[in-house]
Amino acid sequence: MMTVLYQEGVVSYNLLKKVIGGSDGAVYSHVQKLLEAGYVTGKKEIAGNSVQTVYSLTESGKRLFTEYLQFLENILTERKQGSRAEKNINTKGES
């Protein structure tokens, strides 16, 4: 959900539900937790003849998500470096 909000900026509840593929209850529960934590903001907008709720990340939510992406990137970098070190050790051991 955070990925969709980060990439799209403003997302309707219906699109979140469609992208995530969860039930109304599951999506609603997740959105509520993010709202309560201050990571997401929601507002009602008129879309044609109906009203829809749209959500976006707060500055705090954007910061949290970018920190999470950096954390994942660090893990991947460490794994790559570990693989290279293992190859070097294995290559030296074969001599």
Give the residue from 38, 31, 37 showing the smallest Cα distance to 53.
31
The pTM of the full predicted model, rounded to 2 decimals, is 0.75
Condensed to tens digits (0 to 9), the pLDDT of residues 14-62 reads: 999 999 888 889 999 999 999 999 999 999 999 889 999 999 999 999 9
Instruction: Please tell me the chain's helix, strand, coil percentages from 3-state DSSP, rounded to the nearest 5.
Output: 65, 20, 15
Give residue 89's pLDDT. 64
Domain layout of the chain by residue ranges: 2-93
Domain 2-93, CATH class in plain words: mainly alpha
